[in-house]
Structure formats: structure tokens, C-alpha cells
Amino acid sequence: MSRKGIFTEKIVEAVARIASEITKPEDYTTPILAKHTVEAIRNIGVYLRPERLDAIYCELCGKGPFTRKGYYIHLIRVHSSEIQSLVEEEAERILKLLK
């Protein structure tokens, strides 16, 4: 796997962890990524977080119900490219606001 693929995989994994509430948004930090990218990861993770945790349904496709771990796995396996695109768009939006 290329470096870009590994990098993308880590970003998607972070979003999925936040969305499934395995990781709290405020707990996600990394010295490798720019601040606007970290903020984009947090924002998309919170956006994909379901409103109710007793019956978790995917915010992107509506499938479910899932457990937290099941939702995490679903996001990584099914929506990896969509999550990557959402993070890129959000990071660009945030960067434009900073200029």
C-alpha cells in the first residue's frame, strides 16, 4: 500500500472512531496533520454520529441497526471513499475561512 493509501486509511479510521463514539472528538489529536485537517476530521465524525445510540443507523446510507463497533466497521468498509471526500471538502472549507 502506498503512503497516500495508509494516510487516507488513518483519516477514515479516525472519522469512523469519532462517528461511532469509540473516540471523543476532543480526544483526537495528531502532530502530523495540519490543524484545519484535524478540525475537518472532528467535524465529519460528529456529523456522521447518529442521534440515538440505542439504534444506530448509518447517516450516509440508512442501513442498520448497528452496534458501535459494527457502525465503525461499516463506515470503514462501505463508506471509505465518501468519508475521504467529505474530509477533503471540509478541510478546504475551513482553510478558506482562515484566509
Instruction: With cut-offs at 50, 70 and 90, classify the pLDDT of residue 1.
Output: low
pLDDT digits (tens, 9 = 90+) for 56-99: 999 999 999 999 999 999 999 999 999 999 999 999 999 898 87
Is pTM beyond 0.85? Reply is yes
**How many CB atoms neighbour CB 68 within 10 A?**
15
Q: Per mean pLDDT, which of 3-12, 14-23, 24-33 is the most reliable?
A: 14-23
Q: How far apart are CA 68 and CA 44, in angstroms?
A: 17
37, pLDDT greater than 80: yes
Domain ranges of the chain: 3-98
Tell which wins on pLDDT, 17 or 6.
17
